């Protein structure tokens, strides 16, 4: 999640954030996320970029797999944060990022950071 790192308008993270912020369900999959209020694993797009870069330049990690994930929040809480509100619940750690932190030296930002960044950028574009 977070602001796209490029000027492309078809960013997956930007599209998902728009849907979640406005509670739009264009298909059954997205509707199910809302209906079940699932925990959705979040990672800042900058964390993904850093992880991919580090995996490419650190010797001895070629062919390894890493989970680039931070906290997980329910979809309803993500919607709240995208609308500049506090989440009702607490984050969960659904997927461990221990190996990526240890071997790639990544420090993942809390999920609220990219969600609020998108929210602030989105609000600025509307103004």
pLDDT on residue 62:
87
Give the pLDDT band of residue 58 (cuts 50, 70, 90): very high
- Would 51 be classed as within a structural domain? yes
SS3 41: strand
Is residue 6, in this structure, part of any structural domain at all? no
**Residue 27 maps to a domain:** yes
Domain count, the chain: 1
pLDDT digits (tens, 9 = 90+) for 77-86: 999 999 989 9
In sequence order, what are the residues at sequence separation of 6 or more whose Cβ sits closer than 8 angstroms to the Cβ of residue 84?
A: 116, 119, 120, 123
In a domain, 73, yes or no: yes
Residue 4 lies in a domain: no
What pLDDT digit, counting tens, does each position of 23-50 carry?
999 999 999 999 999 999 988 888 889 9
Q: How far is CA 12 from the centre of its chain?
A: 10
**DSSP string computed for 68-88:** ----EEEHHHHHHHHTT---S
Which range marks the domain in which residue 106 is found?
A: 12-126
Instruction: Give the torsion through C-alpha atoms of 121, 2, 28, 9, to 10 deg.
Output: 60
Does 1 map to a domain? Answer: no
Q: Is residue 57 part of a domain?
A: yes
Residue range 105-122: average pLDDT? 79
């Amino acid at each position: 999640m977070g602001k796209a790192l490029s000027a492309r308008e078809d960013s997956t993270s930007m599209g998902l954030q728009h849907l979640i912020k406005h509670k739009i369900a264009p298909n059954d999959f997205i509707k199910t996320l809302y209906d079940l209020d699932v925990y959705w694993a979040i990672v800042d797009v900058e964390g993904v970029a850093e992880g991919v870069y580090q995996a490419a330049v650190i010797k001895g990690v070629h062919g390894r797999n890493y989970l680039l994930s931070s906290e997980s929040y329910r979809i309803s809480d993500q919607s709240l944060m995208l609308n500049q509100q506090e989440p009702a619940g607490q984050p969960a750690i659904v997927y461990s990022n221990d190996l990526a932190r240890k071997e790639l030296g990544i420090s993942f930002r809390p999920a609220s950071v990219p969600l609020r960044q998108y929210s602030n950028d989105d609000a600025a574009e509307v103004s």
